[in-house]
Amino acid sequence: MNDMNARSKQPVSLNRDLGMWSAIALVIGTVIGSGIFIVPNTMARNMGSPDMVFLVWVVGGLMSLSGALTYAELSAAMPGAGGEYVYLREAYGPVWSFIYGWTQMWVAKSGSIATLATAFFLYLANFHPELKQILAMVLIMGLGVLNYFGVRLAGNVQVLVTICKVGLIFAVIAIGLGTGHGASSNFGSKVVSTLGNPGSAFFAALVAALWAYDGWNNVSMVASEIRDPQRNLPRALIGGTAAVMGIYLLANAAYFYVLPASEVAASDLVAAEMMRRIYGQTGAGLVSVAAMISIFAALNGSILSGSRVPYAMARDGLFFAPMSRVHPDYHTPGISILALSGWAAILVLSGRYDQLFTYVIFASWILYGMTTAAVIVLRRKRPDMARPYRTFGYPWVPIVFVISALSLIVSTLVNSPRESMMGIVLVLIGLPFYYYWSKRRT
């Protein structure tokens, strides 16, 4: 009895139960959602030719890879729960980390989860449309409960589903490139761009590509639960992001080999249209299965990683205190997991998640740029910090990402001023809560 009482009084912490393959699966599984199946349509309409679409994919991939190279240094040096929340706090102070966490909890991560769950059921045409929202909510809460019962369980599910996902995508690529149903001449086909200004067209296509690449940073949010983080986090970030870039380029090669640019631009579901051309409705059904597995992995990874941000905020005394609790048996931030999942489910029911998510893209990229710049700030502010991994190509690699982020911010502000300002307002709403919690903890 005394042993039990002593054990119950010991602080419960998160366990390092995720290995390298779980970390890599988090990167690949969270990044590859529904984007690769639909985004080439938008990019083809904007850019007008396959070669320009490939250019945008490469630029977006290199931008993401430069971010991953930079985050590798930050995550290896500060392997704590919350990812960007930790880096922003150390570089700029708690107000900036709070703004990031506030945005992730209420809009960015929760809105992304709501979007993924809804998209999952768009591929199940046999379900009644009126059940779509309810089923999406059930899926979110089901995965929330799964994550509640242990990070090792959730990580193993992530590895398994990611392997299935990548295998199916490679099957689609192999069918597209290897069954003789395409023509090399399609790579030279063109379509009239929907945007007359080449600069505007490029940035519009780049935003679509970056949306498809989004999520490579999520693994840093669970850094406190990854074994040997100084080695495994850089490998997962860099290797996973590079692998996604390769998969995206191969998938687009298959699409444009089978379909000319005009048909890619006209199809909302490019992968399904390619497979329908080869195997009819059976081929399109295979893509639907691949898309659902892909979205499922992204959804599980988003809940697993995103729930660590409000947990980190609460642990610093800047959010609701129960969110900081770790389950004594499962060693997960259980309340934080269920709270994020519950709020995302409410957003599904509200039907406003797409609009909210669009609003915060502008503010999110400001914070992404600041996080990447934190590498430079911390090199000067804390030169004695242990850095097991140092950013390749420093300082030019982080500078390239920061400049790219600034370009996107300016482009978004010019092209969508109303949405950008609404996003800033949504973020600033959190400041009174920051001052309330910061006063309470002093």
Two tokens, residue 55: 């250019």
Nearest Cα to Cα of residue 66 among 395, 410, 411: 395
CA separation (Å) from 428 to 91, 217, 417?
20, 24, 17
> What CA–CA distance (Å, rounded) separates 389 from 68?
12
In a domain, 50, yes or no: yes
Q: Flag whether pLDDT at 355 surpasses 70.
A: no
Q: Flag whether pLDDT at 31 surpasses 70.
A: yes
In a domain, 2, yes or no: no
In a domain, 1, yes or no: no
In a domain, 393, yes or no: yes
Handedness of CA 340, 87, 221, 294 (dihedral sign): positive
Backbone angles phi and psi of 222, in degrees to 5 = -110, 30
| 121-148 residue pLDDT tens | 877 755 555 677 888 899 999 999 999 9
> What CA–CA distance (Å, rounded) separates 183 from 236?
36
| 248-277 residue pLDDT tens | 999 999 999 999 999 999 988 899 899 999
Quote the number of domains for the chain: 1
In a domain, 366, yes or no: yes
On whether the CB atoms of residues 208 and 47 are closer than 8 A, the answer is no
Task: Tell me: cis bond preceding 11? Omega within 30 of 0 counts.
Answer: no
In a domain, 70, yes or no: yes
Show Cβ contacts of residue 144 under 8 Å, excluding neighbours closer than 6 positions.
303, 337, 338, 340, 341, 342
HSE of 278, CA atoms in CB hemisphere, 13 A? 27
CATH number of domain containing 39: 1.20.1740.10
> ∠429-137-330 over CA atoms, to 5°?
85
In a domain, 6, yes or no: no
Q: pTM score > 0.85 for this model?
A: yes
On whether the CB atoms of residues 223 and 77 are closer than 8 A, the answer is no
In a domain, 11, yes or no: no
| 301-327 residue pLDDT tens | 999 999 999 999 999 999 999 999 999
